[in-house]
């Protein structure tokens, strides 16, 4: 039986085994998927050991997504753009690194929430790893405008410079939180503020009537950001759909089969 896993530290909380088991059952794929706790100073060795045991692929979560970039012998365009790897494919050609996070986010917005991105004004809060991973997939859907707002403006400007060459020239721009102008159709919180129950310092005026507000974090109850957005008329979405969709993208890479995500997402939601 083909073997897959997710590497992280810590890893006990990961929902990936449950998600991939559901995908396998649904698609008739025979595989085994497990959690693997990699030592903080031993990620590469842990991956090589798994390959030696017959592993076919792996997901990578905190804190190893940057180390996975160095370990991979080839990177997909979206992994290079993200500067991080969350999916490894072990092939005859070596270790291939990919990043399915952004594709997962976009699939959740477009397919699950039913909100097209083409021609829309999109505001991305944050310029760290989480935000960087979603810029290229967002741009591929041709928004009218993508504004990256960050506390440190220089970090947001660096992202703009990088992605202008990848189809974002004239579309993507940067500013500080206090420099956000106008309202937006889609607002995505890619900051770590929700981890500490804090709100990014944004004005209520950013929420266009009926806009979609998405927080990449998820919990049993809405984050502070989503509560704030809800009070100003936004439709709300957390990061659970993104989690399931990025897993589906990885599953497709490994098995060449596209799983359906709706039922899996409902099951996970009920267990939160």
Q: What is the pLDDT of residues 219-252, one digit of tens each?
A: 999 999 999 999 999 999 999 999 999 999 999 9
Report, as residue numbers or ranges, the catalytic residues: 65
pLDDT, tens digit, 9 for 90 and up, residues 116-133 = 999 999 999 999 989 999
**Does residue 167 carry a pLDDT above 70?**
no
Q: Any binding-site annotation on 114?
A: no
> For residue 170, what pLDDT is reported?
86
> For residue 147, what pLDDT is reported?
97
Please state which CATH class domain 102-238 belongs to.
alpha beta
Please state which CATH class domain 2-99+242-271 belongs to.
alpha beta
Q: How confident is the model at residue 263 (pLDDT cuts 50, 70, 90)?
A: very high
DSSP string, 121-174: EEEEE--SHHHHHHHHHHHHT--SEEEEE-SSHHHHHHHHHHHIIIIITTTEEE
Residue that is written with structure tokens 């940057």 in the block: 66
Domain range summary for the chain, segments of one domain joined by +: 2-99+242-271, 102-238
Q: What rounded mean pLDDT belongs to the chain?
A: 96
**Does residue 213 carry a pLDDT above 90?**
yes
Q: Any binding-site annotation on 218?
A: yes
Q: Any binding-site annotation on 59?
A: no
Per DSSP, what are the bridge partners of residue 222?
none
Q: Any binding-site annotation on 101?
A: yes
Rounded CA gap, 98 and 75, in Å? Answer: 6
At residue 13, the 3 state secondary structure works out as coil
């Amino acid at each position: 039986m083909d073997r897959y896993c997710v590497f992280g530290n810590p890893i006990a909380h990961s929902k990936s085994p449950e998600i991939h088991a559901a995908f396998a059952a649904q698609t008739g794929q025979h595989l085994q998927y497990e959690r693997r706790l990699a030592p903080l100073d031993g990620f590469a060795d842990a991956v090589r050991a798994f390959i030696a045991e017959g592993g076919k692929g792996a997901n990578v979560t905190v804190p190893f997504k940057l180390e996975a970039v160095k370990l991979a012998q080839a990177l997909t365009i979206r992994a290079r753009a993200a500067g991080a790897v969350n999916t490894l494919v072990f092939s005859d050609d070596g270790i291939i690194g990919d990043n399915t996070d952004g594709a997962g986010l976009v699939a959740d917005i477009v397919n699950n929430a039913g909100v097209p991105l083409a021609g829309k004004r999109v505001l991305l809060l944050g310029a760290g790893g989480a935000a960087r991973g979603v810029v290229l997939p967002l741009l591929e859907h041709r928004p009218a405008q993508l504004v990256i707002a960050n506390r440190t403006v220089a970090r947001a400007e660096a992202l703009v410079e990088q992605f202008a060459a990848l189809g974002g020239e004239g579309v993507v721009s940067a500013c500080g939180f206090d420099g956000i102008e106008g309202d937006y159709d889609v607002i995505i919180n890619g900051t770590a503020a929700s981890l500490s129950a804090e709100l990014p310092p944004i004005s209520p005026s950013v929420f266009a009537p009926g806009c979609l507000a998405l927080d990449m974090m998820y919990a049993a109850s809405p984050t502070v950001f989503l509560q704030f957005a809800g009070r100003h008329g936004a439709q709300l979405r957390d990061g659970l759909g993104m989690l399931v969709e990025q897993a589906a993208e990885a599953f497709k890479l490994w098995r060449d089969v596209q799983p359906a995500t709706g039922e899996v997402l409902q099951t996970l939601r009920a267990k939160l």
